Structure 1
Amino acid sequence: MNSLNIDNIKNRTSVRTFINKEIETNKLELIQEYIDINENKTGLFGNETKFKIVKGNINPNKKEKIGTYGFIKGTQTFIVGIMKKDKENNHLDYGYSFEKLILFLTGLDIGTCWLGASFNRNKITKLVELQEDEIIPCITPIGYAENKMRFMEKAIRLTAKSDHRKDWSELFFNTNLLPLTKNQAEKLEIPLEMIRLGPSASNKQPWRIIIDNEKVHFYLKRTPNYGKYLAYDIQMIDIGIACCHFQISSEELGLKGEWTIKNPRLNTEDKDTIYVCTWIRE
């Protein structure tokens, strides 16, 4: 069964509290097989993300663990996503490939959570033997979700408004920059809704979509000063996640298209909104 589907987009949720249970060997083998396939780690524009499964104990004698500053509890197994620096469209492809992996794991009933800042990078770097031309924007813990949330997890979700999604009128538009209705979206209604359901850093939901006949233009509406101290573009990674959800749901519905980067030069009248890429329906 293909786990890259609409149901798993709907079922995916961020898990920060895990039960004390090891992932079965056969599932770990399935995950390793998945991340070894080039197609699964290559983004829409050709950049490859390297994934590594790591165990948290660097020095078992000292019981030294991967630090997540209290954000994650109950697992010390993680998947690290490694990206090449200074490659064109690398952040976009990174978000796309990593979210595909997240959805694959969802299909195995394995809990995940995008972590972009709340982990000890020095310890992770040692574990994966990071090269000079590589960077680790994000990791995810993996394991089985605890049914009951900790107080801290509830507080994190409340602060980020994790269960809140922006209305269609804030995200999807026609070429006149008027809000797009679900009826106007026609066959694209479900793929657009799958974008709306996507995870994003601090739940900023920075994707903005303009429907231009058979073209779907993806824009990034930046949050001023957000992530400016990071060594990577966290909000461009979010757009990769949006592209992933759109591509997977479109394929499942039999909607074929191709991706390109060709700015339509539409006047968005917003200096913080930038064009990223376009899907063209065949």
Structure 2
Amino acid sequence: MPVIDFTAFIGRLATAAGETILPFFRTSLSVDNKSVNDFDPVTEADRVAEAVMRRLIKANFPQHGIIGEEFGNECEDAEYVWVLDPIDGTKSFIGGFPIWGTLIALLHKGTPVFGMMHQPYIGERFSGDNGSAHYSGPSGERRLSVRRCASLSEATAYTTSPLLMNATDRACFARIESATKLTRYGGDCYSYCMLGAGHLDLVVETELKPYDIAALIPIVTGAGGIVTTWEGKPAQSGGRIIAAGDPRVHEAAMKLLNG
């Protein structure tokens, strides 16, 4: 079954999740902590939105697998598997900042073949299928394309927060900060979409889960960028991730991070 058959359905998933999440945004919703040693927040909006998407998937594609942040994995060895993160950027969500999004990926035989980031409050969607990537939002619709950047000294880099890294990885990332023209924090999934849109050049992260990155890979690669682990391997399983718009920046970042 060609990937294009799923495009309209992915849009339905995004719309359903957004309609579920928005009534919770900028309200006094309760927040639970999923972590014993840190602060890993989850809200009722996360849970309800993922439940809605799971129900739609099971009703329309019962033979497909699902990997989700809130309710675990089902049939993850299926030929087609959906990877869901109902709210990527929950810390921004609970702070009232609209720098979060719903991530939806479709894997075929383990490889991400379509991804979407939907931000319902702003009304933006970023999508990609590895061959091309597209934006739809208040400013219209357009094809996404990364920008060229010859070196780290000319690059703008993003990470969600160095405090999310262990001490060793934080020291490696400090070398990136010293080498780039500008480094900023925050963004979560939005950083990768802005990379695909040509507004920044490099994203470096650690400790990512599959649902944090799977949907973003087809967007970045579809826009002409590169997403790998720090070691240059496929990134869909998560871990330590480098995303770059220009292969020269990607190569230079890998050398610094692994040096």
* TM above 0.5: no
Higher alpha-carbon Rg: 1
Select the structure with the greater relative contact order (CA < 8 A; seq sep ≥ 6). 1
TM-score of the pair, normalised by structure 2: 0.28
* Higher strand proportion (structure 1 or 2): 2
